[in-house]
Structure 1
Amino acid sequence: MQDLGSFDLIVVGGGINGAGIARDAAGRGLSVLLCEKDDLAQGTSSRSGKLVHGGLRYLEYYEFRLVREALIEREVLLAAAPHIIWPMRFVLPHSPEQRPAWMIRLGLFLYDHLGGRRKLPPTRSLDLATAPEGRPIRPAYRKAFEYSDCWVDDARLVVLNALDLQMRGGTVRTRTPLVGARRGHDAWTVELADEAGGGRLTARGKVIVNAAGPWVEDVLRSTGSNAENRVRLVKGSHIVMRKFWEGEQAYLLQNTDKRVIFVNPYEGDLSLIGTTDIPFDGPASEVAIAPAEVDYLLGVVNRYFKVDLKPADVVHAFSGVRPLYDDKAANPSAVTRDYVFDVDAPDGAAPMLSVFGGKITTYRKLAEHALEKLAPFFAKMGPAWTQRASLPGGDMPDADFDRFLAGFRQRHAFLPADVALGYARRYGTRGDDLLQGATSLADLGRAFGGTLYEREARFLIDREWAATAEDILSRRTKHGLHMTDIEIAGFEAWMAGRR
């Protein structure tokens, strides 16, 4: 059994919360092991609505603290990773049957002012009969409100946190599930399965952080813990379709059940529509969209837009399980998106911190608060530091992506415009490392389809823990959405041939 050594922190779970906590801890001088049973972001953190947003609808549930924190974090994260996070305008057609105009105006006024907005433009009213944003909308809807939030490549956000953790001396182990843990007075001894190499691994840690998301209770059971807080699983499904409107704006649609549905531009010529909110009690690894969810989402879209979309128009779909803190709310949409910690340290024995709930937008603050909870156990731990720190690739002057892109295209003039934009978006300033020494497309190696070249695939394998075709096509990039089945099969064969 291989011994990985001793660490201050062993973080279980390679989603956004686990990666964020691990990165923050490493930057404070702690030794950290991050272990994930699958690929980074393979669960909930790659199956979100891909938004860094305040959560406008949470105001209806009086979640003012959460909304304020999320609104502040929008601009913090936008400055930290301008290559994978960017502003987006959302058009909310007014449907008086759901909410009166005064209520929406009040909510948007709070949205504009709760979080000290600086960079993002404010709310405005639109006349859909004359505004270009109204062209795809049915004439029954005459008025709309437009406000700001941000888009994020969710899976890449997780990978960037893991990269920063590694750069700061932390250890990242993917496909290394926790098998069991034994609590001692001063430390935990954990056993891990090495799925890539076979066999077992062991490590010791002063503290375990249980950030396993939908599997948080599985980790509690494997460590023999009996924490009182429990997770509530809620399924959210999205569909991907061809984009059916002009412009870069997104839409927020109110449904008759008081829920809201996002219709967002996605990957250039596609749209991302979601999400549903359905109680879920099965294995999180088996979550999948149901036909009724497709019908639900299309019904909302067809109510507002002039198009008549059908299930056959769906080109891709995905579902995720959100591990929310169980606040006993009857309506899944009303369950809090806030986060809760449980610190379990019976009789002064080695502690375990478990994370319940949370959302992508507030992951950085969640990490700060988690380290505050652990401060009594680490007297020499450094102060909070992530608020003004760039994520890998995000270290651009003034966080100005457009200026960076112009320089990137100039430095690599041989790249087609779409390839250059893709590299700049996915890797930011790291894109120059990816292209080091390349002066022509031939230097990028085999072209697999779409804009995927061999050099990028090898970069992801060597630098970002990618081990399967799905890791690359679905999480590190979205190339799979732009490739044919034959092209995907060819790439899968190339990946398999590397072993």
Structure 2
Amino acid sequence: MVAQEQKSSHVFDLLVVGGGVNGAGIARDASGRGASVLLVEQDDLANYTSSSSTKLIHGGLRYLEYYEFRLVREALIERDRLLAIAPHIMWPLRFVLPHSKLVRPAWMLRAGLFLYDHLAPHMKLPKSRGIDLRNHSAGKPLKSEYSKAFVYSDGWVEDSRLVVLNAMDAAARGADIRVRTRLAAAKRVDGVWEAQIEDKRSGETSTVRARAVVNAAGPWVARLLSDELAVPHSKSVRLVKGSHIVVPRVFEGPQCYIFQNPDKRIVFAIPYERKFTLIGTTDEAWGEAPGRVEISPEEVSYLCESVNRYFEKPVSPSDVVWSYAGLRPLYDDAAANASAVTRDYVLDLDTTGGAPLLSIFGGKITTYRKLAEHAIEKLIPEMPVLAGQSWTADAALPGGDLGVGGFEAALKRLRDAAPFLSLTHAWRLTRAYGSRAYDVVGAAGTLEDMGENFGADLTAREVDYLIDNEWAVTAEDVLWRRSKLGLHMTQEQRTKVERYIADRQH
């Protein structure tokens, strides 16, 4: 299709470039303060970094070794806030940290955990404690050489759903969210930004104007400054590849494990999607252009070897049923190795020519909400429209208003309202959508009313909901980002989803 140029006289307050967790969080915060916001994302929401995390809401225990006390404190405070505003997609976890005499002495672990327990005020999760693995259920999957361990608390997050929910709330407050839309170029003209954006599906280009631009392009943040925006800058991003593997369930129980390696790195083993164990992550410097990345055979071997030092039942590369990898765009603080690079964030404001440009370097998923708040505060002197009260700390994300009794009571209410749903089906819908699960079920009175069942209880009605309300465009969006149902389906079933979506679009 020949590209067509469209122009609009409307001026947005904010043009946010990047549909990861930081961009979606900033769009949500700004919209809630009354600003007009346009967010453009070149692919799908959470397409890259924000769907490739270890799925943890955590303070970052190991960051204490690098004296990142402010970051850890902020992350611990945010952990409790996020668990409260989205209890359907986030929940507490208990982590077992076996003591290995080859890595860190027990007193160091105890001291670090004491600091972790008390670094932030009024933390709600249970404190850490020591356990004897020889007579504790958490010791059963582990080799007998490990007798002592510590248990502490952190949280889980469905990372890509967190991004989508922020975008949904931003849209509900007036933001214009455009996926598969690329920023082609932008420049300052008469005190505002004039930007050319391209709809990658239709090939059409349009010109939009905004009073300020937020560069939340993640791995592309520096490249966007140099190429599309042509703005000189001194800060840089350091790309680090983190990879994960998923294997059939290695151990029973709800506990997670955090294992120390001789190289001083740590690897998590976490119950995943009921039938699996998630193992990760690696930290490898990435010197090539940003984009889609894949796990290497060396990384698979590293992760297997890491858990095999501890688990009685060995994990081999042939056990891997799925893997994923992503690039973390860390602020380049000139650290010698990738594991030591700061996970803190830097907000760089450029007001040359009167139209602000705010670029986001670094950050971690746990602190995205606070980062967004800081970004807005940084822009307020230039943009009084943003000066409204900060509001996101206590406002539930879509579906997070589970009501009295929390998740279990919400699940029971859904089953009472839709008794034709099996327990596992209702549980999954409540976990994914919270109070919005009723919007997925709609007026259905029987399971047949939910439409075709593609497998793993994914119905046509749910696929329609994701397309109509959550910007899903492809089967990959549905099966691997809005959900992880691809793990539970055969290739034939996944192909049926692809065909259904293709037929729906014609």
The TM-score normalised by the length of structure 2 is 0.97
Match of 2:434 among 428, 435, 446: 428
Q: For 1:142 and 1:117, locate their aligned partners in 2 and report how far apart those are by CA, in whole Å.
A: 32
2:129 equivalent in structure 1:
124
Match of 2:246 among 231, 234, 240: 240
Q: Secondary structure at the match of 1:376?
A: coil
Any conservation in 1 of the 2:48–2:292 contact (CA below 8 Å)?
no
2:471 equivalent in structure 1:
465
Q: Secondary structure at the match of 2:110?
A: helix
Q: For 1:431 and 1:156, locate their aligned partners in 2 and report how far apart those are by CA, in whole Å.
A: 14
Matched residue type, 1:34: L
Q: How does 1:322-361 map to 2 (within 5 A)?
A: 322-346=328-352, 348-361=353-366
C-alpha displacement of 1:126: 1.0
Q: How does 1:228-377 map to 2 (within 5 A)?
A: 228-346=234-352, 348-377=353-382
2:384 equivalent in structure 1:
379
C-alpha displacement of 1:399: 7.7
C-alpha displacement of 1:327: 0.1
Matched residue type, 1:352: L
Residue-by-residue CA offset, 1:86-112 (whole Å, 9 max, x unaligned): 001000010021111111011111111
Any conservation in 2 of the 1:237–1:289 contact (CA below 8 Å)?
yes
Any conservation in 2 of the 1:15–1:41 contact (CA below 8 Å)?
yes
C-alpha displacement of 1:118: 3.6
Matched residue type, 2:242: G
Q: For 2:484 and 2:206, locate their aligned partners in 1 and report how far apart those are by CA, in whole Å.
A: 33
C-alpha displacement of 1:164: 0.3
Q: For 2:206 and 2:15, locate their aligned partners in 1 and report how far apart those are by CA, in whole Å.
A: 13
Matched residue type, 2:7: D
2:423 equivalent in structure 1:
417
Matched residue type, 1:447: N
C-alpha displacement of 1:202: 1.3
Any conservation in 2 of the 1:89–1:249 contact (CA below 8 Å)?
yes
Q: For 1:142 and 1:303, locate their aligned partners in 2 and report how far apart those are by CA, in whole Å.
A: 14
1:215 equivalent in structure 2:
220
Matched residue type, 2:463: A
Residue 452 (str. 1) matches residue 452 (str. 2): no
1:83 equivalent in structure 2:
88
Q: For 2:415 and 2:463, locate their aligned partners in 1 and report how far apart those are by CA, in whole Å.
A: 20
Farther-moved stretch of structure 1 (400-409 vs 35-44)? 400-409
Match of 1:28 among 25, 33, 39: 33
Matched residue type, 2:453: A
Q: Secondary structure at the match of 1:395?
A: coil
Q: For 1:404 and 1:186, locate their aligned partners in 2 and report how far apart those are by CA, in whole Å.
A: 50
C-alpha displacement of 1:398: 5.8
Q: For 2:382 and 2:195, locate their aligned partners in 1 and report how far apart those are by CA, in whole Å.
A: 19
Residue 62 (str. 1) matches residue 67 (str. 2): yes
Any conservation in 1 of the 2:52–2:324 contact (CA below 8 Å)?
yes
Over aligned residue pairs, what C-alpha RMSD do you find? 1.1
Residue 144 (str. 1) matches residue 149 (str. 2): yes
User: Structure 1, unaligned stretches of length 5 or more?
Assistant: none
C-alpha displacement of 1:344: 1.1
Q: Secondary structure at the match of 2:53?
A: coil
Q: For 1:464 and 1:387, locate their aligned partners in 2 and report how far apart those are by CA, in whole Å.
A: 23
Q: Percent identity?
A: 55
Matched residue type, 1:129: R
Q: How many residues align?
A: 498
Q: How does 1:163-242 map to 2 (within 5 A)?
A: 163-221=168-226, 222-242=228-248
Distance 1:163 1:458, change over 3 A: same
Q: Secondary structure at the match of 1:214?
A: helix
Any conservation in 2 of the 1:227–1:342 contact (CA below 8 Å)?
no
Matched residue type, 1:33: L
Any conservation in 1 of the 2:292–2:326 contact (CA below 8 Å)?
no
C-alpha displacement of 1:439: 1.4
Q: For 2:290 and 2:454, locate their aligned partners in 1 and report how far apart those are by CA, in whole Å.
A: 32
Residue-by-residue CA offset, 1:266-321 (whole Å, 9 max, x unaligned): 10011110000000012322311000000000001111000121111000001000
C-alpha displacement of 1:154: 0.2
Q: For 1:195 and 1:399, locate their aligned partners in 2 and report how far apart those are by CA, in whole Å.
A: 45
Any conservation in 2 of the 1:344–1:353 contact (CA below 8 Å)?
yes
Any conservation in 2 of the 1:80–1:399 contact (CA below 8 Å)?
no
Q: Secondary structure at the match of 1:286?
A: coil
Matched residue type, 1:86: W
Residue-by-residue CA offset, 1:435-474 (whole Å, 9 max, x unaligned): 1211111011001111211110000001110000000000
Residue 493 (str. 1) matches residue 499 (str. 2): yes
1:106 equivalent in structure 2:
111
Q: For 1:119 and 1:243, locate their aligned partners in 2 and report how far apart those are by CA, in whole Å.
A: 29
Matched residue type, 1:3: K
Residue 3 (str. 1) matches residue 7 (str. 2): yes
Q: For 1:250 and 1:271, locate their aligned partners in 2 and report how far apart those are by CA, in whole Å.
A: 9
Residue 439 (str. 1) matches residue 421 (str. 2): no
The TM-score normalised by the length of structure 1 is 0.98
Residue-by-residue CA offset, 1:55-94 (whole Å, 9 max, x unaligned): 0000000000000000001110011000000001000010
C-alpha displacement of 1:197: 2.6
Any conservation in 1 of the 2:25–2:372 contact (CA below 8 Å)?
yes
Q: Secondary structure at the match of 1:387?
A: coil
Match of 2:48 among 35, 43, 47: 43
> After TM superposition, which residue ranges in structure 1, 4 or more long, deviate above 6 angstroms?
none
